[in-house]
């Protein structure tokens, strides 16, 4: 048997970071939006006894253990009786870009396991793989997320739009970004007021009505702008292009532009593609 499983990505249409908790994680309040990923998982059953799983890596490189392997281990620990599997994924989305590319690969396997009745994991369980995995594994197009991202309230209907994910030449380590935000807040006495769901609903209603929102609220913007002046150029370009909204992907380094679904994205795509500090451009429609 062979299955093809599409992988999801996420951006945060609003992201507020609260205090560091005793478990080493910060409390967040966020509006998750699922976007289609250019990546897919191919899952093949190995019909030979006493053979181990084979997980193949190709495309864009990344460090550390494959999140798909960790997802397989998690599924089996929770009772999934899976045959040995051969899983492949050609990486297109750069790691450290803030869209949960690796988390989306793991989430795709978890969704596949749920669909075929192998196991149905809870958000608190999938959160072990990464804070964005519960949302990505859930399947809702939009959700308000609390806790570390595992407390989810699905929102509907979705938003029709198109746009770009833009990955710069630098990457952002999530743990470092949270640490820098704490340090910046301590140094500048910045407030830690968390957004509420009403703020998220306002953003959604503007986007559904195709009203311009501008730069989306994300506490990591100040951290990223302090490290890379290029983000200000990014926001100016998005505004010049008549985008509905733009913002940082999670804790960076990627950023995204949301356009009216009827807009012609050609010139913006050409301009973004020519920027010397841009490593990869991914167009999306959803
Ligand atoms: C920035 C977001 O993408 C917003 O959706 C997520 O909060 C980050 O999710 P992620 O990249 O999957 O990160 P994780 O693998 O869960 O966490 C990596 C590290 O980031 C820090 N971390 C992460 C999430 C969180 N709410 N507070 C944290 O302080 C912790 O040091 C943690 O060890
Ligand atoms: N299949 C995978 N694809 C990409 N990265 C992976 C994968 N498996 C493990 N990783 C590691 O996990 C980290 C987190 O990946 P993920 O794509 O979920 O998060 P991100 O928000 O895009 O980036 P980061 O958390 O690194 O800022 C990556 O930085 C990478 O080192």
The 10s digit of each residue's pLDDT in 30-47 is: 999 999 999 999 999 998
Residues 107 and 62 in one domain: yes
Provide the domain count of the chain. 2
What residue ranges line ligand 1, CB within 6 angstroms? 12, 15, 24-26, 28, 30, 98, 103, 130-132, 148-149, 174-175, 178, 250-251
Tens-digit pLDDT profile for residues 5-26: 999 999 999 999 999 999 999 9
Does the interface predicted TM-score (ipTM) exceed 0.85? yes
Residues 137 and 12 in one domain: yes
Compute, in angstroms, the gap from residue 101 CA to the centroid of ligand 2: 6
Give every CB contact of residue 65 below 8 A, 6+ residues apart in sequence: none
Q: Among 107, 128, 155, where does a domain finish?
A: 155
Residues 120 and 180 in one domain: no
Nearest CA-CA partner of 7 in 37, 32, 48: 37
Q: Among 140, 155, 170, where does a domain finish?
A: 155
Residues 189 and 271 in one domain: yes
Compute, in angstroms, the gap from residue 259 CA to the centroid of ligand 1: 28
Q: Among 122, 155, 188, where does a domain finish?
A: 155
pLDDT at 189: 83
Q: Is 100 in the pocket of ligand 2 (CB under 6 A)?
A: yes
CB 109 within 8 A of CB 68: yes
> Domain of 277?
162-285
Taking the CA of residue 163 as centre, how many other CA atoms within 13 Å lie in the half-sphere pointing to its CB? 24
Q: Is 279 in the pocket of ligand 2 (CB under 6 A)?
A: no
pLDDT category of residue 280 using cuts at 50, 70 and 90? very high
CA angle 140, 286, 104 (to 5 degrees): 50
Residues 151 and 254 in one domain: no
């Amino acid at each position: 048997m062979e299955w093809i499983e599409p992988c999801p990505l996420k951006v945060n249409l609003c992201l507020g970071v609260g205090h560091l908790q005793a478990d080493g994680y910060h409390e967040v309040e966020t509006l998750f939006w699922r976007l289609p990923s250019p990546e897919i998982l191919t899952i093949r059953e190995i019909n030979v006894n006493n053979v181990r799983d084979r997980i193949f890596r190709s495309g864009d490189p990344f460090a550390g253990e494959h999140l798909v392997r960790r997802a397989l281990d998690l599924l089996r620990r929770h009772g999934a009786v899976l045959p040995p599997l051969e899983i492949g994924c050609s990486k297109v989305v750069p790691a450290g870009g803030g869209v949960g590319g690796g988390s989306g690969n793991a989430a795709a396997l978890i969704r596949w396991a749920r669909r075929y009745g192998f196991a149905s994991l809870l958000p608190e369980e999938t959160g072990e793989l990464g804070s964005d995995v519960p949302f990505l594994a859930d399947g809702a197009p939009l959700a308000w997320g609390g806790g570390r991202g595992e407390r989810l309230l699905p929102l509907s209907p979705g938003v029709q739009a198109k746009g770009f994910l833009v990955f710069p030449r630098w990457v952002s380590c999530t743990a470092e970004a949270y640490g820098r935000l704490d340090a910046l807040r301590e140094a500048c006495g910045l407030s830690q007021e968390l957004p509420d769901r009403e703020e998220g609903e306002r953003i959604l209603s503007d986007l559904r009505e195709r009203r311009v929102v501008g730069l989306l609220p994300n506490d990591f913007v100040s951290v990223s702008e302090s490290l890379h002046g290029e983000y200000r150029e990014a926001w100016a370009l998005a505004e010049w292009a008549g985008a509905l909204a733009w913002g940082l992907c999670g804790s960076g380094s990627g950023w995204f532009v949301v356009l009216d679904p009827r807009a012609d994205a050609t010139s913006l795509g050409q301009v973004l593609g020519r920027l010397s500090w841009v490593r990869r451009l991914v167009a999306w429609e959803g």
